[in-house]
Amino acid sequence: MKLTFILSILFFYSIGYSQSVVVNFTEKRIVSKEKLEAIPEFARKNALATYDYTLEYSNGVSFYKNNSEVKNVDSVEKSDSKSTKEEVSSNKQEILHKVTNKFVEKWYYADFNKDELLFSVYNGKDFYGKDHLLQWNWQISNETKEINGFQCRKATSEAFGYYFTAWFTEDIAISAGPDKFNGLPGLILYIGTKHYEYVATSVKVNKEPIVIVKPEMSGNTVTMTELERYVKEGVSKLKSGTTNEVKGNTAITRTTTVIR
């Protein structure tokens, strides 16, 4: 029995490590109707936006990154209380809406051979991280469903004060997943939290290996625990706000909305 178990484990890793996989994901916020109505109208488009990411896996290494067109969003929308074409006299009011979404551009590199996790994220400033692969302590259930033609099983975990739901497929026997998530006996095709979700939109298995270049690290690094501590401390400071300013005959109202 013991020999059979060892052989099955070796078989799992030999299959997984020999596969090269490319998975496209979209990430988006889960916004209830009540929460959406509470968001200023000019910021709702950003609150409902989806962002595209790609996961590459080959020979025990995975790399998750945003697509090239995805960048940190810091947009400004302008409107006037009166028509700027018709109104040229004094007492104009110019309203500037600054919509900030600073959590889009990121990458995660995982080396399962060396138990190494490297990452780069933006959260008020650029963070570069180096850590061991995270221990998720997944609880796997017998619940199943199909995602992109693959039979998936459900798993749950509590980490960093959050509750995560994952759906993974043992049809592709690699332990990778989107973002920082891994540690299941199959490829993760979905991750959901109370406010956010990662959804696989396409899966491609390649016969040939993929060349994944290890990213260069810049400056000081933090662990995932240190990053999460910084994020939680900083959330209370990221408040929406309104300021008023008068320039000549124009009253300017600036509204900043931080979307998380």
Q: What is the pLDDT of residues 201-225, one digit of tens each?
A: 999 999 899 999 999 887 789 999 9
* pLDDT tens digits, one per residue of 42-82: 777 777 888 999 999 999 999 999 986 555 444 555 544 44
Sheet-wide strand order for 150-159: 139-147, 150-159, 162-169, 187-192, 196-206, 20-29, 50-58, 61-66, 107-111, 116-122, 126-131, 221-222
State which residues form the domain around 38: 2-71+110-235
Does the residue 151 lie in any domain? yes
The predicted-structure confidence for 6-25, as pLDDT tens digits, reads as follows 334 444 444 445 689 999 99
Across the chain, how many H-helices and E-strands are there? Answer: 4, 16
Does residue 165 form part of some domain? yes
Classify residue 93: in a domain, yes or no.
no
- How many of the other CB atoms lie within 10 Å of CB of 102? 17
* Domain assignment present for 48: yes
pLDDT in tens, 116-152: 999 999 887 889 999 999 999 999 999 999 999 999 9
In-domain check, residue 43: yes
Q: Can you give the CATH number for the domain in which 179 is found?
A: 2.50.20
Any domain includes 222 = yes
- Structure pTM? 0.75
pLDDT classification of 96: cutoffs 50, 70, 90: low
Residue 38 covered by a domain? yes
Res 49: pLDDT: 84
Mean pLDDT taken over the chain: 79
Q: Report how many domains make up the chain.
A: 1
CB of 23 closer than 8 Å to CB of 200: yes
Strand partners, 166: 155, 191
Q: Is residue 155 part of a domain?
A: yes
